[in-house]
Structure 1
């Protein structure tokens, strides 16, 4: 039988681990979005020409 303290400890570790993974995934998504926005901006500037 698992004690209440041990169960709470495991629950806390599982919860904080999942929050860490969600944070990392959110950071990844933000990075990808920023990269794509900057890429589109570069493409538009290249099409417009260097004088604009």
Structure 2
């Protein structure tokens, strides 16, 4: 039989793990978005020409 403490520990670890994964995934998404913004900025500058 599983005690309440063991069940609470498991729930805490599962919740903490899911929050960690969510944080890592959010960081990845922010990085991808930042990369796309920089890429579009470079493309606009290249399309504008050397005089601007």
Give the gaps of 5 or more residues in structure 1.
none
Q: Report the count of equivalent residues.
A: 52
For structure 2, the residue ranges without an aligned partner over 5 or more in a row are none
Runs of 4+ in 1 over 3 A off after TM superposition: none
User: What root-mean-square deviation, in Å, do the aligned CA atoms of Structure 1 and Structure 2 show?
Assistant: 0.5
2-structure distance, mates of 1:50, 1:20: 45
C-alpha displacement at 1:3, in angstroms? Answer: 0.5
| In 2, Cα distance between equivalents of 1:17 and 1:5 | 18
SS at match of 2:5: helix
Q: Does 1:38 align with 2:38?
A: yes
